[in-house]
Chains A and B, each alone.
Chain A
Amino acid sequence: MNGKERILARVRRALADVPRDDRPYAQAVRRDYLRQHDERGAEDLVDLLAENLADYRAVVHRCGAGELPGLIAHLLGERGAKSVLVPPGLDETWLADTDVRRVADRPESTPHELDRVDSVLTGCALAVAETGTIVLDGSPDQGRRRISLIPDHHICVVRVPDQVVPSVPQALERLVPGRPLTWISGPSATSDIELDRVEGVHGPRTLEVVLMSG
């Protein structure tokens, strides 16, 4: 018998005492928990998102669509960034006001090359207000997973209120499971030294989230 057959046989023997249960899965689990904890309207949800993002040390900015290029240019300038990673499907106009060197997200780039880029600018798939989370799903405006990981400075643009969902259950409903997903709640952190949260370990140490309306 191979490993698979042995393990499956052991599982079946282990469960021999258990009464059969042929109910469909949908009836097997009682899901009387809430779909969302906050019943506020769309505008208030955006406030809640901003609050929770900031609580975990993301830097939050708000702007209208027309103000975005100026804000991006300002954030990159303030940081002293000389280069910025750009996903293939990012709206070009977002970078219209800056001449910082663009680095394309290419499959052949090595991690060492990406390590020399100062900043990365992405969109997102959605944001979760209750937990202060942004989720990336590898769409063309977000790029490969590694580009939002290696540079030390990540600027992520969330279109509000459209991309904001209240809760984790509603986020999962909207996401596509087959895509590579990265849930980000604040900059990287550790609690490994005396259980105190310290921001900034391996992922970007500065996370700036731009909530763009209109």
Chain B
Amino acid sequence: MSTTRPGTPGPPPSSRPDPPDFPAFPRAAHQAVRDRTLRGNLRHATHTIRAKRAKAVAEVSDWAALREAGKQIKDHTLRHLDRYLEQVEETVTAAGGTVHWAVDAEEANRIVADLVKETGQREVVKVKSMATQEIGLNEALEAEGIRAYETDLAELIVQLGKDRPSHILVPAIHRNRGEIRDIFRSEMGKWGRPAPEGLTDRPAELAEAARLHLREKFLRAKVGISGANFVVAETGTLVVVESEGNGRMCLTLPETLISVVGIEKIVPTWRDLEVFLQTLPRSSTAERMNPYTSMWTGTTDGDGPSAFHLVLLDNGRTDTLADEVGRQALRCIRCSACLNVCPVYERAGGHAYGSVYPGPIGAILSPQLRGTASEIDASLPYASSLCGACYEVCPVAIDIPEVLVHLRERVAQGGPATRGGNKVVLRPAKGHTAERAVMRAARWALARPGVLRGGQRFVSRTRRFHPRSLPGPGRAWTGTRDLPAVPAEPFRDWWQRTHGGKEGPR
């Protein structure tokens, strides 16, 4: 669906951090499901990547062991997060960087805006970062008279199209090549170098147009802004995994580099990268290795930026950490594999999730980072058929269905939670929010038997991957509870068997 809004050129709302702008999931999904172009684009893209991912994962015989190690590394880090945060500050500082701490989005935005202003610059180049989208950094900088240029191809498409991202890895996944060509033709000129004459919709030509358009910005850039995939506590090293080279441009050409990183991105040791550099590329782009990975430690004399700032971002992460069941969402390495296998995402599209984190991970992360007060956040835990495909592909074994069920309980029944660092007791959501959201979501899913059928069979076939309680050192996190069991025969199959497959049209 084209969500292009008329408006003046200039940094558009690539992300809106405040949830009340968004309709509840079922309503948004309903609109998306009716949009044939969007569904076609999503279906094509997610099915392509699914098959490739499976092949890339099958190439490594020790995938299960890598997945378990990744999970244990992240759990250990979260359990000792205070210690590792302090260690990061020490090692980054020792390597010539400056560390800043931001409790929420507003603080982070202020820190970054002040740092940019200190350089005297009025523009920055940005490499795609979920954290800066989450805090609405571009809008905050715009309010301070600073223009932020997105340089990732998909982010550029989103920014030029005055659109919102709809996928973690491929934020413009909802756009097909024809739409991208039209956006480039009509919008590039307003931001800098216009699209070449006679631009067609061949992907190679579109990529070339982006190369030419952005190059002038890279070459003159004095300030770069990034996120990071990993921060190594032991060495103070930051890691950015990318494909296009726009990351390398932003990380090495400017004089000042500012990296905004969620506090959950830490890994304890250098060696830990051996796990994630194997699981991340295969899970996200389905490659043995992505084209470029940059690793830097503070500043290096005569090579790259002479000033480096690391902004450590909380913004709801410690609230999430306080939830015994929900904290596992902080293991996420943002690979997007769970989006690509999700039958609900495939039909609803990323925008329906009303957050920069769409898909299954968004359904458990947004309501925890932002709380469940708004209609969209209260409805997100219902944006799932609980089929379990997301859990099975997750390279850090986040049990997304378990967290969804937990969050549904919290929305419906209320109970203890942590908001803004304080313990609170949530009241059960009133009928006019949660129940309505539930009913809409249920109606939406039940009206589409294909969603449930595809999903539920899948989980049952993969039962052997679902441990009843977590083995090894990870146990302590879940020691008091058994994980929910997966029934041997899914409801749909039972119904099919006992009722002879009589059902309405798909």
List residues of chain A with CB under 8 Å of any chain B CB.
2-4, 6-15, 17-19, 21, 23, 25, 28-34, 37, 52, 56, 107, 110-112, 115, 128, 130-133, 138, 144-146, 149, 168-169, 172-173, 177-198, 200-204
Contacts and interface: CB of A to CB of B under 8 A. Distances in A.
B81 A30 contact: no
A133 B289 CA distance: 7
- Closest 7 A/B residue pairs (Cβ): A203-B245, A3-B101, A202-B245, A14-B322, A10-B318, A131-B289, A201-B244
B488 interface: no
Q: Which of A13, A28, A110, A130 has the most CB of B within 10 A?
A: A28
A192 B291 contact: no
Interface in B62-119: 62, 65-66, 68-69, 72-73, 76, 79-82, 85-86, 89, 95, 100-103, 107
Contacts, number: 269
A3 B85 contact: no
B481 interface: no
Interface stretch (B141-149, B170-178, B344-352, B399-407): B170-178
A185 B103 contact: no
Contacts of B172: 192
A24 to B, nearest CB: 11
A44 B46 CA distance: 36
A132 B288 contact: yes
B489 interface: no
Given A19-B476, A182-B294, A192 B62 contact: no
A144 B302 contact: yes
A169 B246 CA distance: 26
A133 B241 CA distance: 13
Contacts of B86: 8
A14 B321 contact: yes
Contacts of B249: 149, 202
B62 A34 contact: yes
A13 B82 CA distance: 10
B132 interface: no
B95 A178 contact: yes
Contacts of A18: 79, 476-477
A193 B245 CA distance: 16
A192 B170 contact: yes
A111 B288 contact: no
Interface string B198-217: 00000110111011001100
B361 to A, nearest CB: 18
B472 interface: yes
Given A25-B268, A29-B73, A172-B273, A13 B65 contact: no
Q: Which of B102, B203, B214 has the most CB of A within 10 A?
A: B203
Nearest to A133: B289
Nearest to B50: A195
B297 A178 contact: yes
B307 interface: no
5 contacts: A15-B81, A15-B321, A19-B476, A25-B269, A195-B46
Contacts of B232: 177
A136 to B, nearest CB: 10
B54 interface: no
B270 interface: yes
Contacts of A133: 289
A3 to B, nearest CB: 3
B275 interface: yes
Nearest to A137: B295
Contacts of A204: 245
Contact of B322 (A13, A34, A177, A191): A13
B295 A12 contact: no
Given A193-B207, A194-B173, 18 more contacts: A3-B102, A14-B319, A15-B79, A30-B473, A31-B65, A34-B62, A111-B220, A132-B289, A149-B252, A177-B270, A180-B295, A180-B297, A184-B291, A188-B245, A192-B157, A193-B180, A198-B203, A200-B211
A34 B66 CA distance: 9
A186 to B, nearest CB: 5
A196 B125 CA distance: 25
A178 B73 CA distance: 22
Given A10-B318, A12-B82, A182-B294, A28 B76 contact: yes
B304 A21 contact: no
B312 A7 contact: yes
B61 interface: yes
B304 A180 contact: yes
Contacts of B248: 145, 149, 182, 202-203
B271 A172 contact: yes
Q: Which of A146, A188, A202, A204 has the most CB of B within 10 A?
A: A202
A133 B82 CA distance: 35
A200 B207 contact: yes
A188 B292 contact: yes
Q: Which of A9, A29, A178, A196 has the most CB of B within 10 A?
A: A29
Given A8-B85, A10-B318, A193-B153, A203 B244 contact: yes
B235 interface: yes
Contacts of A8: 82, 85-86
Given A6-B103, A198-B203, A201-B153, A34 B61 contact: yes
B103 A7 contact: yes
A198 B293 CA distance: 18
A6 to B, nearest CB: 5
Interface string B238-255: 000001111011001100
B207 A201 contact: yes
Nearest to A170: B274
B72 A190 contact: no
A6 B66 CA distance: 34
Contacts of B324: 17
Contacts of A13: 318, 322, 418, 421
Given A11-B82, A14-B418, A188-B245, A196 B61 contact: no
Contacts of A185: 287-292
Interface in B39-66: 41, 44-46, 48-49, 59-62, 65-66
Given A30-B68, A112-B219, A194-B44, A202 B211 contact: yes
B392 interface: no
A2 B99 CA distance: 13
A209 B207 CA distance: 23
Nearest to B294: A182
A20 to B, nearest CB: 9
